[in-house]
Amino acid sequence: MDRIEVILIFEIKETPTNFQEILKQEQEIVSIWKQQGILEHLFLRQSRDGAILIFKNVDEQKAKELVEGLPLYQFKKNVNYYNLVKQF
Can you give the pLDDT at residue 20? 93
Look at residue 1 and tell me whether its pLDDT is greater than 70.
Answer: no
Q: Please, what are the domains in the chain?
A: 2-85 (3.30.70.1060)
The reply to whether the predicted model has a pTM over 0.85 is: yes
CA atoms within 13 A of residue 46's CA, in its CB half-sphere? 0
- Element at 63 (helix H, strand E): helix 60-68
Q: Are 61 and 21 in contact (CB under 8 A)?
A: no
Look at residue 53 and tell me whether its pLDDT is greater than 70.
Answer: yes
Look at residue 11 and tell me whether its pLDDT is greater than 70.
Answer: yes
